[in-house]
Chain A
């Protein structure tokens, strides 16, 4: 009987503790003072919002200076990791970094830059979607697309499935393809990372794409 009472008490205490812990929150109308530790006392006082928001403080490299992280030279240079199973191909006048992957190199991924806003976010997203016969998106729909960090800035993630007609002089159409790409467009410059290939292959390389994107950096020495 005593044991039963003890467990009743235990259950009631647990219930009370749970319910009372839910209302624990700070006062929404006051600021709270705190001492800064030694490592927290220094701040970088910058003049403009442009600097504060990191625009033009880490510009992508100029043409011809992009190199792999392992072998590159030049100042600045583009640094990145090559995902496992991806093979690097020579760049071109339009592509700073060029990869192929898959058994027969059916998948490709490249990084390209354009000066200025590169035609704008809406035009570029819908240009990519047009290559897959997908309907264009509105500005609001594009603004709501998910973001991934690219050069420490949020870049718009575009994913489209369908028949892929790359254009650019090619009349070929590839069925059941997928695009996974990132667009970072600002007045400081536009950066595009675009991966295309058979749907299953691109899906299987999604993590590799993320790994490549996360590894991208600009080295200044």
Chain B
């Protein structure tokens, strides 16, 4: 992959309390983590962040203007959706449950131990890296798929559906021999060594619903 060009893991600390913010940042840096601090959710949102291999947010729940959970809702499903570690001075259970349901990695009550924070950060960064890898794989599969011709895509759909060459030929109204040729081209263009891998690649593709050929119908 091409991750080597980018900075490694980054932790964003968002807390309106300057003392807490500085403390967390110092602790992270002392433990060898790179971090950036923001005094509000808005400051975080308006900042231009360098892309990096993995990133996570250490986010205070209670902040004026925009709370941590509001920020969570806002970045949901966007490119800025980094794993979130919530920290709060008043660990009320309903907020905690809501935050975790909405996808937060951890929920730490202030004051928290260094180990708790560092473990949570490691987990979050791992998750972030995993997310990033799967995003990259999706993009790669997409690029390869773009190389296929219209006929090859039809054959591709048939293959990953598990149809026999004969069936694909019947469905498309072409000779079985032709299907074999298309099939070989598909395997080559998709850089797949086996049908199993082809199926895996097919699963990563983002295609509008119903665009896959309804050959069997």
Q: Do A and B bind each other?
A: no
Chain B contacts to A: CB under 8 angstroms: none
